[in-house]
Amino acid sequence: EAQVTQNPRYLITVTGKKLTVTCSQNMNHEYMSWYRQDPGLGLRQIYYSMNVEVTDKGDVPEGYKVSRKEKRNFPLILESPSPNQTSLYFCASGWTSLGEQYFGPGTRLTVT
Amino acid sequence: QKEVEQNSGPLSVPEGAIASLNCTYSDRGSQSFFWYRQYSGKSPELIMFIYSNGDKEDGRFTAQLNKASQYVSLLIRDSQPSDSATYLCAVNPGGSQGNLIFGKGTKLSVKP
Chain B residues touching residue A40 (CB < 8 angstroms): 104
Q: pLDDT band for position B95 (50/70/90)?
A: low
Question: Cβ of A45 and B103 within 8 Å?
Answer: no
pLDDT tens for A49-103 read 999 999 999 889 999 999 999 999 999 999 999 999 999 999 999 988 777 889 9
pLDDT exceeds 60 at position B96 = no
Touching check for A95 and chain B: CB below 8 Å? no
Our CA-based measurement puts residue B16 at a distance from the nearest CA of chain A, in whole angstroms, of 29
Question: Cβ of A90 and B44 within 8 Å?
Answer: yes
Q: pLDDT band for position B77 (50/70/90)?
A: very high
pLDDT at B97 (0 to 100): 60
Touching check for B29 and chain A: CB below 8 Å? no
Strands B54-58 and B101-102: unpaired
Q: What is the DSSP letter of B18?
A: P
Touching check for A102 and chain B: CB below 8 Å? yes
Averaged pLDDT of chain B: 92
Q: Count the helix, strand and coil residues of chain B and give each as a percent rounded to the nearest 5.
A: 5, 55, 45
Question: Cβ of B92 and A90 within 8 Å?
Answer: no
Chain A residues touching residue B87 (CB < 8 angstroms): none
pLDDT at B92 (0 to 100): 87
pLDDT exceeds 80 at position A110 = yes
Mean pLDDT of B98-111: 90
Nearest alpha carbon to residue A93 among A50, A60, A56, A59? A50
Structural contact between residues A65 and A72, judged by C-beta atoms closer than 8 angstroms: no
Tally of CA atoms within 13 A in the half-sphere of A87 that contains its CB? 23
pLDDT at B93 (0 to 100): 77
Chain B residues touching residue A48 (CB < 8 angstroms): 98-99
Nearest alpha carbon to residue A80 among A31, A1, A20? A20
Our CA-based measurement puts residue B96 at a distance from the nearest CA of chain A, in whole angstroms, of 9
Q: pLDDT band for position B98 (50/70/90)?
A: low
pLDDT tens for A4-32 read 999 999 999 999 999 999 999 999 999 99
